[in-house]
Chains A and B, each alone.
Chain A
Amino acid sequence: MPGLSRSARNHPSPSQKWESCRSPAGLKKLKAHIRRLEGFGDTLAEANKQVLPFGIDEIDDHLPGGGLIKGALHEVFAADAGIATAFCALLAGRLVKDSEKASILWCERPWTLDAGALYGPALLQFGIDPMRLILVRTRRDSDALWAMEEGLRCSQIAAVVGELGDISLTASRRLQLAAEETGVTAMLLRSKENTPAPSAAATRWRLDAVTHEKECRQTNDNKDLSWMPPTSSGLGAARWRAEMFRCRGGGAFNWTMEWNDETGDLSVATNIRNRSPLQATARLVG
């Protein structure tokens, strides 16, 4: 009998647990408990985790700790190859700038996204010095995973990006653990064909282009009289639809981001309805 009472004390019955959740303090405790289970500790500081803030409140407010967790695995699904690559490059470039670590390891597998290879001159726009980028080209997934893991174990690397087709839960967990160990951030760049199977990633994103509002209203392009030939007056900032559909310790959210390749600034687009080329040009000039 005494034994039974002790076990009851240690493991409260489900009803007791629910009881404690009624109060705000209890809820907080439960949340902390879940975070602990997820390996985050009570607070991020306690778990010795650092974050990379986007520098935009609209985004950072939705991320636990106010930014992208460093030393974790993040998955980016490429609905649009160029934009997803740009997103990874932007984060990698900021990670380099943010830490004293020097280099980026990028496991490049052009056939995964089928949109060609990384082009050095463009990387400058994302704050990546190509001389500080080590590109690894492997045929086999297993080699790419091995190379990523090696990169994660090297503490002088700021970010490891891997273009991968399929990845098992076990493999993603291995990467996550390796990233946790050294604090190197890992990113997986995956093609849209891969359905998001369960993974150990801290956040999972889907990056796509933003469809022009105009087209949504139209049903038949050819009959639309308002249609004009394309203007050669410039493109303005690129708009990305960033959907964070999974976030450990936080909720899902999506944003429309604007990325200005001239200044390298990322911002959240506010009113983008019916943006005309003229306005875009005006922003570019201004």
Chain B
Amino acid sequence: MDSPLGIVDETRQQLVLHAVNHAAQKTGIRAGMTLADARAILPSLKTSEADIQAETKALSRLADWCGRYTPWTAPDEEGSGAAFAGGGSVWLDITGCAHLFGGEEALMRDVIDRLNCLGFTSYAATADTSGAAWAAARYTHYKRRRWTSVRKGQAQNVLAPLPVAGLRLKSNTVSGLQAVGLRRIGDLIPIPRAALADRFGSEVADRLDQAFGDRPEPISPIAPASPWHARVNFAEPIGRSEDISNAVHKLCNELADMLENEGIGARRLTLTFYPPDGVVERLQAGTSQANRNADHLARLFSEKLDRITATFGIDAITLTATASEKLPPSQATLDRRSEKRETSVAELADRLSNRLGNKNVVQLALHESHIPERAISSNPVTTCSHPIPATPWRISSSPENQPFRRPRPLRLLPHPEEVEAVAPVPDDPPVMFRWRKQVFRIEHADGPERIAPEWWNDRLGLLETEPENEESRTTPIIPVQENIRDYYRVEDRRGRRFWVYRDGVYNPGTKPSWYVHGVFG
């Protein structure tokens, strides 16, 4: 029913078939043929251009999707593509996971069935080594069964009758081996490795050793597998938000128990949803302090659960603590009445930052700068360490210990706003100024407080310096203070208090510019 289709890729000024479908294979067309050859066999072959990038992306999405079976998955980038008959493969390390799905064979059947639903034709194999699994998945098909299990120690027996291409060799190596009559993997086993290396380089010997476990083959997973991982699978996809939130709560309980036994708490969590249509959705949550309170963790996600689209429902959810810290076990209360825990400030901060975003829930931190706008910065609460450290903001009666000896405005404008001011020269406070279309007549004033630019960061106010200094600025976001500022606290006739400054020293002939920078209480 499918018409023969080939995916064409241009390599070395030649149109080569990158992959072909079943119908095309039946007519004898193979991936790796040139398009001209294929057309000679079947002139009606339909073709489509290959998009290697999209294919790689799709493969890693598929590896992501396989996270439902095990946290350790990786796309097989080396053993996929045109050189390997166009197929792509995904590694899964199912150590300790198979029993959750009723054993290795049941797991493979499940993978194949689900991939079939997604529209992929797939073959699966389990083996002790990745090399053996690769060969078995690609080259053993018993009747209609698409999965193979290579039992422990059986790798040689299973692999021996398979073609040498099963060793993930490059196509020219394969044809070289075939030219000397080495067609099956079994043919290679008795040959001394040194002889193979002389003739074909180290490739054949390495792959052979990797397939039989004589040589390690490290593969890195997409996401580093965290040992703190909880999973729930559903017999039927679920879609009701109550069901999902119940499941999330159950996962949080499970993970919290796991964390409690180990004496650690979670700092970052990832909740992954596996819908049947293969598009994995993830939710992240962070905590400002190591936490393993199941209710709190569940609440962090409950705000975000409505972001999950899940058109076709969800059939598996996993919860992983991607970052964790030590958290000593806490004493449970003897009194049942007080068991209702009080939310701590850290938990409140977590909830706020998870809904409103990290950068919107902040704490003010002091900086060693006497330039008003640089003296404080706001840091996300979640990155601050809790409990609150010894504070540099000392509320002290002795003026020497005060970080700011002069009064500072309670509200600081984001940018100083220029005003039209009338002020006696050379350095008196303004008599009146016009700000935001309002006239303010000054009754009292206090000052000046002279604030000089930071010469080690900026251009010096009075001297001209070389322009290359501009590049050495550490904080380019805040506009650099160029001039000396003379700040005055002024009170207008209606009793309102402002912080105004004159930009630069008085210079006869030029009109000084005045700015409002803040308001006082």
Q: Does B343 contact A (CB under 8 A)?
A: yes
- Interface-lining segment among A23-31, A58-66, A168-176, A232-240: A232-240
Q: Does A117 contact B (CB under 8 A)?
A: yes
Given contacts A151-B348, A235-B489, contact A230 B444 (CB under 8 A): yes
Report whether A215 and B497 are in contact in the complex, using a CB–CB cutoff of 8 Å. Answer: no
Q: Does B468 contact A (CB under 8 A)?
A: no
| Residues of A83-134 contacting chain B, CB below 8 A | 83, 85-87, 89-90, 102-103, 105, 110, 113, 115-127, 129-134
Report whether B343 and A155 are in contact in the complex, using a CB–CB cutoff of 8 Å. Answer: yes
Nearest-CB distance from A132 to chain B (Å)?
A: 7
Interface size on B, residues (CB 8 A): 65
Report whether B497 and A82 are in contact in the complex, using a CB–CB cutoff of 8 Å. Answer: yes
Q: Does A81 contact B (CB under 8 A)?
A: yes
Across the interface, A118 reaches (CB within 8 A) one of B348, B395, B411, B444, namely B411
| Residues of B480-520 contacting chain A, CB below 8 A | 488-491, 493-497, 518-520
Q: Does A157 contact B (CB under 8 A)?
A: yes
Across the interface, A136 reaches (CB within 8 A) one of B356, B365, B489, namely B356
Q: In the bound complex, how far is the Cα of B256 from the Cα of A213, in angstroms?
A: 66
Report whether A85 and B521 are in contact in the complex, using a CB–CB cutoff of 8 Å. Answer: yes
Report whether A118 and B410 are in contact in the complex, using a CB–CB cutoff of 8 Å. Answer: yes
Q: In the bound complex, how far is the Cα of B407 from the Cα of A125, in angstroms?
A: 8
Q: In the bound complex, how far is the Cα of B521 from the Cα of A259, in angstroms?
A: 9
| B residues less than 8 Å from A210 (CB atoms) | 495
Of all chain A residues, the one with the shortest Cβ separation from B392 is A131
Given contacts A82-B496, A121-B376, A212-B493, contact A131 B388 (CB under 8 A): yes
| A residues less than 8 Å from B409 (CB atoms) | 82, 116, 119, 122
Across the interface, A122 reaches (CB within 8 A) one of B348, B407, B445, B448, namely B407
- Interface-lining segment among B67-75, B194-202, B423-431: B423-431
Report whether A157 and B445 are in contact in the complex, using a CB–CB cutoff of 8 Å. Answer: no
| A residues less than 8 Å from B372 (CB atoms) | 119
Across the interface, B495 reaches (CB within 8 A) one of A126, A129, A137, A211, namely A211
Across the interface, A133 reaches (CB within 8 A) one of B363, B412, B519, namely B363
Nearest-CB distance from B230 to chain A (Å)?
A: 26
Q: In the bound complex, how far is the Cα of B408 from the Cα of A151, in angstroms?
A: 28
| B residues less than 8 Å from A85 (CB atoms) | 410-411, 521
Q: Enumerate 18 A-B pairs (CB-CB under 8 Å) in ascending A order.
A: A117-B411, A119-B411, A119-B518, A120-B366, A121-B366, A122-B407, A123-B410, A124-B393, A129-B391, A135-B364, A143-B356, A154-B343, A156-B345, A230-B445, A232-B428, A232-B488, A235-B489, A239-B495
